Chains A and B, each alone.
Chain A
Amino acid sequence: MKKTVLFFIAFLGCTAVIKAQSYSVALIPQDLKSYAKAVVRKDERTVIISSPSNMVYQIKKATTLLNQTSEDMAKTVVLYNKSRKIKSLALNIYDANGYLIGKVKESDFEDRNYIDGYSLFQDDRIKSYRPVIRSYPVTVEEIIEIRYNQTLAIPDWDPQYHDNIAIEKASFEILKSPDYQIKFKSVALPDPEINTQGKAESIKWTLANVKANKYEPYSVNEDKRLPNLKISPVKFSYDGIDGEYTDWKGYGKWVYDKLLTGRQDLLPSTAATIKDLVKNCKNQKEAAQLIYEYAQKKNRYVSVQIGIGGFQPMKASEVDRLSYGDCKALVNYTSALLGIAGIESIYTEVKAGPERVNYLKDFASISQGNHIILCLPFEKDSVWLECTSKDMPFGFLGSFTQGRRALLIKKDGGELVKTPSYNWRKNLQQRNAQFELNALGSLNGKIRTLFSGIQYENRESLAELSPTKKEEQIKLSYRDIPDFEILSYNLSQEKLSPKWTEDLELSTAHFGTQNGKYLIFDINPVNVSKMDLKEVINRKNQLYINTGYTDIDTIKIKVPGNYKLETLPMCVNKSFDFGSYELKNTFNNGELLTVRKMIIKEGVYPPEHYEAFVNLYETAKKFDKSRCVLVKND
């Protein structure tokens, strides 16, 4: 082993003898500058794995920031903790002509705790530095070496981590012994060059002249389009714990055996409490709901990430005592409680967030998830639980984790599964409004709205607000009804679907405008599209709609008896494969009936369809503001 390490160092020594490169901005090819905020001049990364518990990561990266718009990129932040230590850290700063104008040493860096903004505490620390840029363009060269005592998480490579970054030259090399196996998955990268020389094997990916892309809204996640590389070990070590896996099954088994087993102990009194709680339940689902709600009421979310605790959940007995924990701990705890009642539940890893990101089908690694949820595999329809929320309805996942491939951690190993998805039909907002308009332009009436599917989230936070904040939020939700008074408001929850039913009774003096013999008013004060979609000429990316929905608004406005209809607002109906917008107006017996129906269907569509997509939203924006003109009866 020692010999191999020496060889690697010698190998590196050779490559270090390079001519001093020029970072003059004039040398950047012109076409690399278009749509770019920054150009990566050189990005050389080397990962040297000498053993499952010994890994070195070297970065030498020079980025030219082209103008003031790249100001936020001029910050270097390096994380370190017990398993990753910073061996060297330095910055060199060059002006537009490539002359060295600044040198930053490790001791110049600010050293403090890593504050993620939501944890109570975590033992990660960071060294950070932000140079003061006096004039652009400027080139920042980062020279970093990190030493790991683990190989569970091998660094990924994202050379072009944003559309607006161009790359002149970049490479990622892994140096290891040929017997040490690794697996990798690459996107938009050429095949690597593999060279074996005796005891040393080099696997190297190289990129050159990658242009920046113009930002196109509604595109698939950058991770799927831009070059990137993921690496996972076969044999690894972390915090003294060894392991081995080649697929999800193997990975899941390691997690189950090494991280989860033996952590579901509970206080004896708790077991008794749970048994008593569910004694009268008719079936398992009913019992599961009672247990879930018990845990919700008892616990709250507090994140403390220390050492292996970053990967391993707190013991259930600890959560019992403290009444708090992070997602791992709360899932583990709820699972333990369910176990008392004989209900099976599975700890599940997932990538949570508004965008639906899947666990890769054909590549297992530790860095794909960021959250844990709980799966109850009932015979007919599994039930999924979000254990970190105090008010989430039983069985509802929400936009945070719905509709994506996740990983069940079972006793016999990991298994991919898709979390329940909410499609455009299920994400329904259905509204019935009944108003009366008087001759002075005052409006009063009732609105009943049903929110279901992902649209349930539209009113989720409102329920918990203080009365003043609630009033403000209600007025914001109906911002197109000017200055109204809330006569009554009720929000009732149906837990099982789940669904909100909102009943609002209001009145406002400022609705209609009287102008001579005319009375003019908005026909749709309840659901006005404000979406401002940029048009994209010669779009390259497919149109990707992450979440679909259906909005149906039926609005009845009774007009004053002494007025008659002057112009009936225009009807419109536009329909495409990705959605539709329909506005139907009729006038009968002194009442204007407007039915607005807007449907957006999730999915992936050809780039050419984007233009029609923009047109659909423009149509909605325009027609939602339609006004009706009444004229006084003579």
Chain B
Amino acid sequence: MRKLYLSVLLFLGFLSAFAQEDGNFPFGTVDASHLQQSTYSKDSTAEAYVINEFGSAYISERENTGLVFTYHVKIKILNNKGLDQANIIVPIRSSDGSSEFLRDIQAVTINLENGLPQKTTLDPKKIYTEKVNEYYERKKFTLPDAKVGSIIEYQYTLESPFIFNFRNWEFQCGIPKIKSEYWVKIPGNYDYNIGLYGFQKLDRQDSELVKDCFRVGGGVADCSLMKFGMKDIPAFVEEDYMTASKNFISAIRFELRDIRYFNGTVKNFTKSWQDVYKELKTDVDFGVQIKRHSDLFKNQISALQVKYKDQKELAKGIYNTVKNWYQWDNYYGKYARNGLKKAYETRTGNVGDINLTLIGALQSAGINTDPVLLSTRDNGLPTKLFPVMSEFNYIIAKVNLNNESFLLDATDKDLPFGMLPFRCLNKEGRAIGKDSCYWVNLVPDKKYKQSDYIKLKLDSSGNFTGKITIRTADYQAYYKRKKIKEFASTDEYIENLDEKNPNIKIKNYSISNLDSLELPLTEEYDVVIKAFDTMDIGTLSINPFIFNKTTENPFKLNERIYPIDFGAQKDFATVFQLEIPKNYEVKLLPNSVALQLPENNGKYIFNSGLLNNNLITVSEFFTINKPEIPGTHYPYLKELYNKIVQSNKSNIIINKK
């Protein structure tokens, strides 16, 4: 009895310790100085700012409660846009029958009316529950009487059975924060990997031991109370051509390593890559699926083995067979969702279903294939130091042949052998090999590649007649093929192209290799372009960029912090040839340009010339040699694009002799 009493005291003591210490702040106090503010001194562009933010999380002793997270924030609204902060959404997750539970929501708005502070409290009946899908609900409410100048404040407690990722905490968000603190109390028998992400440094990182703080089923454990804090946090602003903001936002993330139960058993979650490796091999939704269902395409593979003796050709054959069998259901995943057998029968599945089947099929044909886990671009980069399995949301196959390897994804029918979809281009993936696992480079050597060859002749009626040849390869071809397939037939695609340019008439077109995905796609047209209404004027001005003209620089701002990520390299070439009538001479050709990015990360070359006095040639070559350009090179990249825009405006001037 006595012992219990003491433990209750300790427990309560701990609670009040939480409340009274500098961490959490009292709810609903009037902050006169902030009420009167009309801007935020550290960031004059802010539409609102966080005055104070406090979160705490601990694992509950109460049975079936899991993790208890409390959140409390106080925000000052500075302008109309800042009012968006008054619309609160709290996501509630459910999975496999368990669900999170939100309680004790309190919200208040404080306004200055006639010099006096006025409080308006949220009516609990105005908290709505919106069901989004079977895994996910949203609790929504809006602060009453919120205006420009208001201080809004709210807090809530969330109970969650999902303790694997504990509760991550983002220090940064779209508005600046004066102070943000997060306290976590983790019992000693729960071992978490904890990592700080982003560029900001912690202003506070304390850790203390709380003895006998966790009692469950007769056992007692000490807890580790950790306090993390940051001050004067700048707002996080997204830029164009950037990968997931998750990669850059300052945050703390957790992953459970193991739990030591009081009865002595230990449940391991993730210790090292070795353990992940062993686990995946024996996981019912992963390794076992591959082994058990590697015979799904047995018949088709037998036929292919007769046809192809070369390993690479065999691998291609299997890849194409599997790829064309399924219709992807648009769900990501590293595990099979429907199960490979069901997926095969219904011919549909998630990424796990389709690609695990592919891996099994390739392995059964004797082709050395490793599964590769990856995190898609919008999901952020995976942690490398230790495995955080929940960060991987996708799986692909890596085929290892003699001295080359190929990365395969069978979810997209337009992908050629060895090319990954854009969503997978996220630096590195983790291969689960036969004997060990290793990092795999996902940066493609396939590019956005296009070359345009335009050969025209100016006739006496003011028309350009001639031929256009457009050749696209790799990613450029992939997107082009998708575009053409948006139309019911290539005829309709050309019809649309013709109609979009009323001054250009297209005849005799041919599109080669539309379905030969590994080969470059070639489009050829004969064209008649109405260039001049009349040839009576003595001087004619011609701009060679009739097609695919770059008219503006996509980079407008003067400064940039984050790297520019295009996903893949660029390789564009345009060659323009124009034959002018014999009674004309060239008066002016465009200036030449040659510009290179630092570290040879890119190049732009623009040239023009004249042959035989009546054949004008203009050529342009533009390459970006690395998919990602560092933020410090931004001014050079911007200037390169400036030069492209300027060159694309150039004029060739010809005169009647």
CA–CA, A218 to B446, complex, Å?
A: 41
Interchain CB contact (< 8 A) of A536 among B86, B487, B499, B503: B499
Number of interface residues of B (CB under 8 A): 62
User: Which of B141, B539, B651 has most A Cβ within 10 Å?
Assistant: B651
Task: List, in ascending order, chain A residues with CB within 8 A of B142's CB.
Answer: 120, 302, 324
A113-B130, A480-B551 are contacts. A121–B556 as well, Cβ < 8 Å?
A: no
CB of B588 within 8 A of CB of A518, answer yes
A390-B80, A464-B80 are contacts. A69–B487 as well, Cβ < 8 Å?
A: yes
Q: Does A132 contact B (CB under 8 A)?
A: yes
CB of B347 within 8 A of CB of A483, answer no
Q: Does B262 contact A (CB under 8 A)?
A: no
CB of A472 within 8 A of CB of B130, answer no
Q: Does B253 contact A (CB under 8 A)?
A: no
Task: List, in ascending order, chain A residues with CB within 8 A of B553's CB.
Answer: 482-483
Q: Does A627 contact B (CB under 8 A)?
A: yes
CA–CA, A324 to B146, complex, Å?
A: 8
Instruction: Return A623 CB to nearest CB of chain B, in Å.
Output: 11
User: Which of A297, A482, A615 has most B Cβ within 10 Å?
Assistant: A482
Would you list which residues of chain A between 290 and 340 have a CB under 8 Å from chain B?
Answer: 297-298, 300, 302, 304, 321-324
Task: List, in ascending order, chain A residues with CB within 8 A of B72's CB.
Answer: none
Q: Does A513 contact B (CB under 8 A)?
A: yes
A-B contact pairs, 9 of them (CB 8 A): A69-B486, A125-B131, A391-B80, A472-B556, A513-B591, A515-B589, A535-B499, A536-B499, A625-B543
Q: Which residue of A lies closest to B79 (CB)?
A: A464
CA–CA, A304 to B87, complex, Å?
A: 12
CA–CA, A532 to B504, complex, Å?
A: 13
B207-215, B362-370, B575-583, B642-650 - the one binding chain A: B642-650
Q: Does A3 contact B (CB under 8 A)?
A: no
Would you list which residues of chain B between 90 and 137 have a CB under 8 Å from chain A?
Answer: 120, 126, 128, 130-134
Interchain CB contact (< 8 A) of B552 among A37, A66, A467, A479: A479
Q: Which residue of A lies closest to B501 (CB)?
A: A532
CB of B638 within 8 A of CB of A297, answer no
A466-B47, A471-B557 are contacts. A482–B140 as well, Cβ < 8 Å?
A: no
Q: Which residue of A lies closest to B130 (CB)?
A: A113
Task: List, in ascending order, chain A residues with CB within 8 A of B133's CB.
Answer: 110, 112
CB of A471 within 8 A of CB of B551, answer no
Task: List, in ascending order, chain B residues with CB within 8 A of A112's CB.
Answer: 131-133
The list of the 6 closest CB pairs from A to B, nearest first, reads: A121-B128, A475-B556, A534-B499, A323-B145, A466-B45, A535-B502
Q: Does B586 contact A (CB under 8 A)?
A: no
Q: Does B237 contact A (CB under 8 A)?
A: yes
Instruction: Return A491 CB to nearest CB of chain B, in Å.
Output: 15
CB of B502 within 8 A of CB of A120, answer no
CB of B502 within 8 A of CB of A520, answer no
Q: Which residue of B lies closest to A474 (CB)?
A: B556
Task: List, in ascending order, chain A residues with CB within 8 A of B80's CB.
Answer: 300, 390-391, 464
Q: Does B204 contact A (CB under 8 A)?
A: no
Interchain CB contact (< 8 A) of B642 among A297, A464, A510: A510
Instruction: Return B75 CB to nearest CB of chain A, in Å.
Output: 15
CB of A482 within 8 A of CB of B237, answer no
Q: Does A468 contact B (CB under 8 A)?
A: yes
Q: Does B327 contact A (CB under 8 A)?
A: yes
CA–CA, A533 to B503, complex, Å?
A: 11
CB of B130 within 8 A of CB of A321, answer no
Interchain CB contact (< 8 A) of A133 among B327, B499, B551: B327
Known interface pairs A300-B147, A322-B145, A625-B543; 19 further A-B residue pairs with C-beta atoms within 8 A, sorted by A's residue number = A66-B488, A69-B488, A111-B131, A112-B133, A113-B132, A115-B132, A120-B141, A121-B140, A300-B83, A321-B120, A391-B80, A468-B237, A472-B557, A482-B646, A485-B558, A516-B588, A567-B541, A618-B502, A625-B649
Task: List, in ascending order, chain B residues with CB within 8 A of A133's CB.
Answer: 327
A66-B488, A536-B499 are contacts. A134–B347 as well, Cβ < 8 Å?
A: yes
Task: List, in ascending order, chain A residues with CB within 8 A of B79's CB.
Answer: 464
CB of A567 within 8 A of CB of B539, answer yes
CA–CA, A300 to B143, complex, Å?
A: 11
Q: Does B201 contact A (CB under 8 A)?
A: no
Q: Which residue of A lies closest to B127 (CB)?
A: A121
Instruction: Return A461 CB to nearest CB of chain B, in Å.
Output: 10
CA–CA, A533 to B552, complex, Å?
A: 20
CA–CA, A518 to B142, complex, Å?
A: 63
CB of A510 within 8 A of CB of B646, answer yes
Q: Does B42 contact A (CB under 8 A)?
A: no
CB of B500 within 8 A of CB of A482, answer no
Q: Does A552 contact B (CB under 8 A)?
A: no
Q: Does B144 contact A (CB under 8 A)?
A: yes
Q: Which residue of B lies closest to A475 (CB)?
A: B556
CA–CA, A322 to B86, complex, Å?
A: 12
Task: List, in ascending order, chain B residues with CB within 8 A of A515's CB.
Answer: 588-591
Interface residues of A (CB under 8 A from B): 37, 66-69, 110-113, 115, 120-121, 125, 132-134, 297-298, 300, 302, 304, 321-324, 390-391, 464, 466-468, 471-472, 475-476, 479-480, 482-483, 485, 510, 513-516, 518, 520, 522, 532-536, 567, 570, 614-615, 618, 622, 625, 627, 629
CB of A482 within 8 A of CB of B47, answer no
Q: How many A-B residue pairs have CB under 8 A?
A: 136
Task: List, in ascending order, chain B residues with CB within 8 A of A514's CB.
Answer: 591
Interchain CB contact (< 8 A) of A134 among B47, B128, B144, B327: B327
Interchain CB contact (< 8 A) of A464 among B81, B128, B646, B649: B81
A482-B646, A483-B553 are contacts. A614–B541 as well, Cβ < 8 Å?
A: no
Task: List, in ascending order, chain B residues with CB within 8 A of A480's CB.
Answer: 551-552
Interchain CB contact (< 8 A) of A534 among B500, B588, B651: B500
Task: List, in ascending order, chain A residues with CB within 8 A of B503's CB.
Answer: 618, 622
Instruction: Return B130 CB to nearest CB of chain A, in Å.
Output: 4
CA–CA, A120 to B80, complex, Å?
A: 18
Task: List, in ascending order, chain A residues with CB within 8 A of B590's CB.
Answer: 513, 515
Task: List, in ascending order, chain B residues with CB within 8 A of A321's CB.
Answer: 120, 144-145
**Binary CB contact string for chain B from 578 to 613 against chain A (1 if under 8 A, 0 otherwise):** 000000000011110000000000000000000000
Task: List, in ascending order, chain A residues with CB within 8 A of B45's CB.
Answer: 466-468
Q: Which residue of B lies closest to A515 (CB)?
A: B591
Q: Does B653 contact A (CB under 8 A)?
A: yes
CA–CA, A472 to B238, complex, Å?
A: 13
CA–CA, A481 to B539, complex, Å?
A: 26
CB of B556 within 8 A of CB of A520, answer no
Instruction: Return A319 CB to nearest CB of chain B, in Å.
Output: 10
CA–CA, A515 to B588, complex, Å?
A: 8
Task: List, in ascending order, chain A residues with CB within 8 A of B31's CB.
Answer: none
Q: Which residue of A lies closest to B591 (CB)?
A: A515
CB of A120 within 8 A of CB of B132, answer no
Q: Which residue of B lies closest to A323 (CB)?
A: B145
Task: List, in ascending order, chain A residues with CB within 8 A of B144's CB.
Answer: 321-324
CB of B329 within 8 A of CB of A132, answer yes
Q: Does B304 contact A (CB under 8 A)?
A: no
A134-B327, A567-B539 are contacts. A300–B146 as well, Cβ < 8 Å?
A: yes
A120-B87, A464-B79, A483-B642 are contacts. A323–B327 as well, Cβ < 8 Å?
A: no
Q: Which residue of B lies closest to A472 (CB)?
A: B556
CA–CA, A324 to B327, complex, Å?
A: 46
CB of A476 within 8 A of CB of B87, answer no
Instruction: Return B216 CB to nearest CB of chain A, in Å.
Output: 37
Instruction: Return A471 CB to nearest CB of chain B, in Å.
Output: 7
Q: Which residue of B lies closest to A511 (CB)?
A: B646
CB of B588 within 8 A of CB of A132, answer no
CA–CA, A355 to B126, complex, Å?
A: 35
Task: List, in ascending order, chain A residues with CB within 8 A of B496's CB.
Answer: 534
CA–CA, A520 to B638, complex, Å?
A: 22
CA–CA, A385 to B515, complex, Å?
A: 57
Task: List, in ascending order, chain B residues with CB within 8 A of A471's CB.
Answer: 556-557
CB of A520 within 8 A of CB of B651, answer yes
Task: List, in ascending order, chain A residues with CB within 8 A of B588's CB.
Answer: 515-516, 518, 629
Task: List, in ascending order, chain B residues with CB within 8 A of A520's CB.
Answer: 651
Q: Which residue of A lies closest to B346 (CB)?
A: A132
User: Which of B46, B120, B144 has most A Cβ within 10 Å?
Assistant: B144
Interchain CB contact (< 8 A) of A121 among B130, B148, B558: B130
